[in-house]
């Protein structure tokens, strides 16, 4: 697997994007994927990692998660499936490392991006769980109180491996949240969960979907979940524009 190290410039959030096609919320949530690791051990072949999702920019397809989800794991052990009902892994071509800038506390650096061998996969390959299609220019979500968030992740509490039968049991969980504070300059957004009774371990890396109250055209990917605590009912995600600008810069650097 190829490993590329990318140092992005200063991040600047985009302004609202032009209205698009009305989106079905469920069709956006299905970009979510569970992250596993292969162990090369016959008795315990897989280990649970966390949450992530697929997105597409141009002709390239990427798997995205939080960097701390895969920290310390060899990149050739990352195991991401084609859809939620499959155990067939997707082929990863490149790991894109986001190098820290001067301020190590800027959490936009907590991104792990894997470029798939996109030529192997047509849109039909993913069935009804296609990657989220990112627009190629201005992205899409501006914070306001007129709507809510849905975060689809794979908490550890809902994942289990039956090693006697070799079966993997996994369930996603949709967290409902609302905007809790204005976005930070580095692209972090704080949200408050409204149904966080479940242990949130494993939710990092999940897609955060913005659901507009009155305008289906505004439903969109809002960002990447970074961390959350059930005790405080708070979570923090990275704005989608930071992810999109990073992917555009990566695409430009190799074209």
Q: Tokens 């299609």 belong to which residue?
A: 133
Q: Which CATH number fits domain 2-8+21-254: 2.40.10.10, 3.30.70.1140, 3.40.47.10, 1.10.357.10?
A: 2.40.10.10
- pTM of the predicted model, to two decimals? 0.85
Structure tokens at 241: 């524009």
Residue 20: its pLDDT value, please? 39
The b-or-e profile of 151-174 (16+ CB within 10 A means b, else e) is: bbbbbeebbebeeeeeebebebbe
Q: What are the residue ranges in the chain where pLDDT is below 50?
A: 8-22
Residue 64: its pLDDT value, please? 95
d(CA 3, CA 75): 9
* Strand-pair partners of 62: 55, 115
DSSP E strand stretches across 25-103: 32-38, 46-57, 60-66, 78-80, 92-98
Cα within 13 Å of Cα(2), Cβ side: 10
In order, the DSSP letters of 62-78 are EEEEEHHHHTTS-GGGE
Residue 113: its pLDDT value, please? 92
Residue 65: its pLDDT value, please? 94
Residue 182: its pLDDT value, please? 77
| CA of residue 168 relative to chain centroid, distance | 21
Residue 252: its pLDDT value, please? 64
Contacts of 167 by beta carbon, 8 Å cutoff, 6+ apart: 161
Q: What is the pLDDT of residues 223-249, one digit of tens each?
A: 999 998 878 889 999 988 888 888 887
Residue 12: its pLDDT value, please? 43
Residue 149: its pLDDT value, please? 92
d(CA 86, CA 177): 29
Residue among 155, 222, 150, 153 at smallest CA distance from 193? 150
Residue 225: its pLDDT value, please? 94
């Amino acid at each position: 697997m190829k490993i590329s190290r990318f140092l992005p410039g200063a991040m600047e959030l985009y302004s609202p994007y032009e209205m698009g096609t009305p989106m079905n919320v469920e069709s956006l949530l299905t970009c979510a994927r569970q992250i596993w690791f292969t162990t090369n051990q016959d008795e315990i072949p897989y280990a649970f990692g966390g949450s992530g999702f697929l997105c597409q920019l141009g002709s390239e397809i990427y798997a995205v998660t939080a960097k701390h989800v895969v920290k310390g794991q060899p990149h050739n052990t990352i195991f991401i499936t084609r859809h939620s009902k499959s155990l067939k892994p997707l082929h990863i071509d490149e790991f894109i490392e986001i190098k820290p800038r001067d301020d190590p506390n800027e959490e936009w650096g907590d991104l792990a991006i894997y470029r798939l061998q996109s030529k192997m996969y047509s849109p039909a390959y993913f069935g009804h769980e296609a990657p989220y299609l990112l627009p190629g220019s201005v992205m899409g979500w501006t914070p306001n109180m007129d709507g809510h968030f849905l975060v689809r992740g794979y908490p550890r509490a809902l994942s289990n491996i039956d090693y006697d039968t070799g079966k993997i049991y996994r369930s996603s969980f949709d967290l409902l949240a609302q905007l809790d504070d204005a976005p930070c300059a580095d692209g972090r957004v704080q949200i408050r969960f409204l149904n966080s009774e479940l242990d949130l371990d494993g939710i990092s890396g999940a897609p955060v979907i913005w659901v507009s109250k009155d305008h289906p055209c505004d439903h969109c990917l809002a960002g990447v979940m970074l961390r959350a605590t059930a005790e405080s009912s708070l979570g923090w995600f990275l704005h989608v524009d930071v992810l999109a600008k990073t992917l555009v810069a990566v695409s430009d650097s190799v074209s």
